[in-house]
Amino acid sequence: MSETNQALTAEQAYQEDNDSALGFLKPQFHEEKFPTVQIWGYIGSLVLTFAAYLLVMNHVLPPVALLSVILTLAVIQAGLQLGVFMHLKEGRGLAWQLIPLYLVFLIAIGMVGMSIWIMLFKSGVS
């Protein structure tokens, strides 16, 4: 909401945009001297990818359980990308993107799950 374009600190920007009910949108920044987090993120994503691959190729579980496990691994990896690489919680003032993102995850899961549920109808009129 500031009209000025001078370099603000994160805290100043947050104070300007503050809305007491929205403390959970306070942005968090991460700075460091060496990209350790990125390297760990890359290693983590490789490990998760190959873990899923090995689980499936060796058929270690019955199909439905196996699918649940690898989907869980995929969700963890998505979280990793968002947190480590996409700087999910950063923003000037408030990290507004968090609200639509949380909503869209719910809606996306609902859309896929409900569509499967609705479209698995067997007969015309039951």
Partner 1 sequence: MSFSHLAHTLFPPSVRLPDILLIDVGLVLAGLGILGLLTKTRRWGWLWREWLTTVDHKKIAVMYMIAALVMLLRGGIDAEMLRAQLAAPGAHFMPASQYDEVFTTHGTIMIFFMAMPFIFALFNAVVPLMIGARDVAFPRLNAMSYWLFAAGAILFNLSFIIGGSPNAGWTGYPPYSELLFNPGPGENYYFLSLLIAGMGTTMTGINFLVTIVRMRAPGMTLMRMPLFIWSAMVTSALVLFAFPPLTVALAMSLFDRVFGSSFFTLAHGGMPMMYVNLFWLFGHPEVYILVIPLFGVFSEVVATFSKKQLFGYPIMVVSILAIMFLSYGTWVHHFFTMGAGPGVNVFFGLSTMLIAIPTGVKIFNWIFTMWGGRVQYTVAMLYQLAFIPTFVIGGATGVLLAVVPADYQFHNSYFLIAHFHNVIIGGTLFGLLSALYYWWPKMFGMKLNEQQGKWAFWLFFIGFWVTFTPQYLLGLKGMTRRIYTYPSGLGWHNLNVISTVGALIMGAGFVVLVFNLVWSYVYGERDLTGDPWDGRTLEWSLPSPVPEYNFARIPVVHSRDAWWDMKQKGQSLAALRPEDVHDIEMPKNSPIPFLLGVAFFVVGFGMTFKWWPIVIVGGLGIVLCLLFTGFDYDDHHHLQADTVRQSEASLGRLQG
Partner 2 sequence: MSMPAADEHVQHLPIEFANEKESIKITGFWMFLVTDILIFASLFSTYAVMHNAVAMGPSSQQLFQMGPVMLETLLLLTSSFTIGLGIYAMRKGQARALIYWILLTILLGAGFVFTEIHDFVSFAAIHATWHTSAFLSAFDILVGTHGAHVTFGIFWAVTLLFQLKKRGITAQTARKVFTFSLYWHFLDIVWIFIYTFVYLNGRIG
Query: Given the rule CB under 8 A, which residues bind partner 1?
Result: 1, 3, 16, 19-22, 93, 96, 100, 103-104, 107, 110-111, 115, 117-119, 121-126
Residue closer to partner 1 by CB (options 38, 115) is: 115
Q: Is 100 in the site for partner 2 (CB under 8 A)?
A: yes
Residue 88 corresponds to which amino acid? L
> Of 26, 40, 41, which Cα lies nearest the Cα of 92?
26
Give me the least distance between CB of 50 and partner 2, in Å please. 9
Distance in angstroms (rounded) separating the CA atoms of residues 62 and 64: 6
Chain length of the chain: 126
Give me the least distance between CB of 33 and partner 1, in Å please. 32
Q: Is 58 in the site for partner 2 (CB under 8 A)?
A: no
Question: Residue 77 touches which of partner 2, partner 1, none (CB < 5 to 8 A by kind)?
Answer: partner 2
> Of 47, 54, 52, which Cα lies nearest the Cα of 71?
52
Distance in angstroms (rounded) separating the CA atoms of residues 94 and 34: 27
58 token code pair = 């060796």
125: which DSSP letter? -
Give backbone dihedrals phi and psi of 108, rounded to 5 degrees, phi first. -65, -45
What is the contact surface with partner 2 in residues (CB under 8 A)?
2-5, 7-11, 13, 29, 31, 35, 38, 41-42, 45-46, 49, 52-53, 56-57, 59, 63, 66-67, 70-71, 73-74, 77-78, 81-82, 84-87, 90-92, 96-97, 100-101, 104-105, 107-108, 111-112, 115-116, 119
